[in-house]
Amino acid sequence: MPRIAVVFYQEDAETVPVLDWLDRLPARAQDKCRLRVGLRGTNYRMLYFFHGRVAAVLAHGLVKEREVPPREIEEAIRRKRKFELDPKRHTYKES
């Protein structure tokens, strides 16, 4: 199976939604999310999309509900479209 890079979507020079979301979680939940999604009955979702065969792009995260709210899906689609227009600009690179 080919390897796929995982990248973080970057809104602008200072905003990376999934990292901002992770930073707001309790430290233990952050650790769990880095390894797998979920913590003692509270589950988290990280919305993502694929950019060809090159990358899975983490768009943003949210606390898991029964269904993903339509506004969250719309936001992920908006970010996907922006990413497709300019992948270099919307790919987070850790400095």
Q: What is the pLDDT of residue 45?
A: 79
Q: Please, what are the averages of pLDDT over each run of 10 residues along the chain (95 residues)?
A: 76 86 85 63 75 76 80 89 92 84
Specify the pLDDT at position 18. 85
Burial grade of 39 (CB within 10 A; 0-12, 13-18, 19 or more): middle
The pLDDT score that the predictor gives to residue 36 is 58
Contact 46, 35 (CB under 8 A): no
Helix, strand, or coil (residue 86):
coil
Q: What residue ranges do the domains of the chain occupy?
A: 5-85
Query: What long-range pairs does 65-72 form, CB within 8 A, spacing at least 24?
Result: 72/47
